[in-house]
Amino acid sequence: MKKIINDPNCVVGDMLKGMQIANSNILYNPNKEVIARKVKSNKVGLVSGGGSGHEPAHAGYVGYGMLDAAVCGNVFASPSPDQILEGIHQANAGKGVLMIVKNYAGDIMNFEIAQELAGMEDIMVDHVVVKDDVSVKDTDESTGRRGIAGTIFVHKIAGAKAETGASLEEVKKVANKVIENVRSFGVSLSACTIPAVGKPGFQIGDDEMEVGMGIHGEAGIETTKLKSSKAIAELIVEKILADKDFGQSEVAVMINGMGATPLMELYILAGDVNDVLIEKGLKPIKYYVGNYMTSIEMAGASCTILKLDDELKELLLSPCDTPALKQEVSQ
């Protein structure tokens, strides 16, 4: 295992300490591994979180226009209910708290317990569950689609809505509108290594890629020969459109690196995805290209497409100021 770390069992605390040093607008509570805004805002509070190893998600999205607190579990492990309750406390300004949870059984269980605990303290808490990864079928019999990079669009849009002074119910409604309209799919070229485990999560050949992998070091739904960027773009867009027909809509697109993929490759893929989308009649109006929701040092990329209407577009393009995403009005 080659990593710039100290103790493999202390990576989350060591990382959050560094994150606090580098960002003066956030506060790190080392007892509960919670990152929160330094100045509480008089609005609906937004909390997200989950296992670490997805940096900058979610702590990097704490700040104006996005989250109020992020709860950081161990690498790829759900945070505990009492950690999440601390996140709720940090985010609560008396207007209620919305939790944005990725669709994993452990996360849902712990965030729901925390919601109950907060209810006992008369804090109004609700939650939404993000399920954007079309590599897993959404059926009544299973947990269904996983939550991956589409979660960032939920942070952005629900965060912008909360800044307008909207009610908990209104913020939840727009968050669910994003969830209904966002889909993702990814490919990986290498596995990643959980520090406390010390070896890669799967083996992959020098000429192979994993198609439809998740963000927790697991292999994909299929192993294929490595394809060109154009072929990967076609594959990804086909998989997404097979799950949801976006018609001829305006869309926002995120080309997300999994951690070890250079920006060069992400931009090449963005160009190819754009060609495919335009060929299919979609109207991409905004791209996000970079490492937004990673899987430690996995090489690969995911593509997320969000169907926009006037409301979602306005909220997406509104300003935000967080360590990992800054937007000014002009954009």
State the residue for tokens 């490492």.
291
- Binders in 34-73 for a second copy, by CB under 8 A: 52-53, 55-56, 60
Between 73 and 96, CB nearer to a second copy? 73
Q: Exactly one of 58, 89, 127, 216 is catalytic; which is it?
A: 216
Quote the tokens at residue 111: 């965030």
Q: Is 18 in the site for a second copy (CB under 8 A)?
A: yes
- Neighbour-count burial of 85, counting CB atoms closer than 10 A to its CB (0-12 exposed, 13-18 middle, 19+ buried): buried
| Cβ proximity of 29 and 50 under 8 Å | no
Among 122, 140, 245, 328, binds a second copy (CB under 8 A): 328
Considering only the stretches 11-19, 41-49, 123-131, 158-166, report the one whose residues sit in contact with a second copy under the rule CB under 8 A. Answer: 11-19
Among 80, 167, 176, 229, binds a second copy (CB under 8 A): 229
Between 198 and 247, CB nearer to a second copy? 198
The total of other beta-carbon atoms located within 10 Å of residue 287's CB is 16
**b/e 4-37 (16+ beta carbons within 10 angstroms → b):** eeeeeeebbbebbeebbeebeebbbbeebbbbbb
Contact partners, residue 27, CB within 8 Å, separation at least 6: 20, 35, 36, 37, 38
Between 19 and 148, CB nearer to a second copy? 19
**Catalytic annotation on 216?**
yes
3-state helix, strand and coil shares in percent for the chain, rounded to the nearest 5: 35, 25, 40
Cis peptide before 155 (omega within 30 of 0): no
CB of 274 to a second copy, least distance (A): 5
Considering only the stretches 7-15, 35-43, 97-105, 108-116, report the one whose residues sit in contact with a second copy under the rule CB under 8 A. Answer: 7-15
DSSP codes of every residue in 97-110: EEEEEES-HHHHHH
Considering only the stretches 2-10, 85-93, 158-166, 170-178, report the one whose residues sit in contact with a second copy under the rule CB under 8 A. Answer: 2-10
**Catalytic annotation on 89?**
no
Instruction: Name the residues that contact a second copy, by CB under 8 A.
Output: 2-6, 11, 14-19, 21-25, 52-53, 55-56, 60, 187, 189-190, 206, 209, 226, 228-230, 232, 255, 259-272, 274, 284, 287-289, 291, 294, 296-297, 299-301, 321, 326-328, 330-331
* Active site residue ranges: 54, 216
